[in-house]
Structure 1
């Protein structure tokens, strides 16, 4: 009997998958999103385009998974915001980190690409809501509920609206490139929103 080891298909598949995700992320960082194609991702990854289509239905789906791989641990089950008992300090920590992430070129390019794709792809939008936005929003609301229980936020505050008041200005500034995303800006957002949420 031959003792020659055969290649492990699972290991080979995982290597190809990682190469595709890395290639998608690199291309998004280097090239205008509209000019990226499945063929370009396949060529960069060193695989056939049919390999990509076997795992993902579209370019947007590849970019989405590459974004998830990049931010692994930042979304999904088990996420929790810091809870030191001081809602202002905790929200400042979170908002500063969010502003820094949006300003980080490694994250900004794939996030912009993902937003472009979500606008025109309802299925991808639903997937983003399920795997990223939904769990993260629930974690944020749970931190606000904790602040309500501690008497730091009005007990009848609309928490969905509170989060929109907190994050929408930052998102708009990032989307329109209308101003810097500084720690001071993040702090100002927290301070103004908490004034509105006082008991």
Structure 2
């Protein structure tokens, strides 16, 4: 997992990650165990525990390493179009197996395991949030978004509806939903026209 690992250690790490994902897809996260992942990968369980102290951390690393999200937002000069592009990519990935069910399991595990929650925040939530807020700040500097915008609230309003549907109601989140959400949010976030306009 570090640049100092040997090629053989890297291969072993990849095999363990693949085994964990395969087992989670086959039987669900609840039935995943360090022992089963070790047996599937052909290694001893202590080899797994040296890298990941819990099955939650193994699963999180396996999932994020398999599909590391791209956090850099496009910048075409149109903030709404850029957020739409990025959000489409996210809902397309999470709207289909295996990523949707696996990601839902990972979020559930983060509620139970503080180490998983901290790692999820470090590797996924915080970088995503920082990239989004950087793109919104650029739009503010260009006068496309109100300079008085509450950035924390904007983040909550942009991500909250997606997580609500994904986790609570488990309704599908398609492009139409994303379009309606962005249109509604940016009606309130847009910069006010000049007073003499």
Query: Structure 1 length as normaliser, TM-score?
Result: 0.88
Note if 1:15 corresponds to 2:11. Answer: yes
Note if 1:98 corresponds to 2:94. Answer: no
Q: Could you tell me which residue of structure 1 aligns to residue 30 of structure 2?
A: 34
3-state secondary structure, aligned to 1:180: coil
3-state secondary structure, aligned to 1:105: coil
- Distance in 1, Cα, partners of 2:170 & 2:50: 40
Note if 1:143 corresponds to 2:135. Answer: yes
- Distance in 2, Cα, partners of 1:180 & 1:55: 35
5+ unaligned residues in a row in structure 1: which ranges? 1-8
3-state secondary structure, aligned to 2:6: helix
The partner residue of 1:184 within 160, 176, 188 is 176
How do residues 73-84 of structure 1 correspond to structure 2 at under 5 angstroms?
74=69, 79-84=71-76
Instruction: Render the CA deviation track for 1:174-198: whole Å, top value 9, x for unaligned.
Output: 1134422111111111111111112
Assess if the C-alpha contact under 8 Å between 2:24 and 2:31 holds in 1. Answer: no
3-state secondary structure, aligned to 2:25: helix
Note if 1:195 corresponds to 2:187. Answer: yes
CA drift of 1:125 comes to: 1.1
Number of residues paired by the alignment?
187
Assess if the C-alpha contact under 8 Å between 2:20 and 2:58 holds in 1. Answer: yes
Q: Could you tell me which residue of structure 2 aligns to residue 68 of structure 1?
A: 64
- Distance in 1, Cα, partners of 2:11 & 2:127: 29
Instruction: Render the CA deviation track for 1:115-156: whole Å, top value 9, x for unaligned.
Output: 121111112211221222111101100100111111111101
Assess if the C-alpha contact under 8 Å between 1:42 and 1:52 holds in 2. Answer: yes
The partner residue of 2:122 within 107, 120, 130 is 130
- Distance in 2, Cα, partners of 1:193 & 1:37: 42
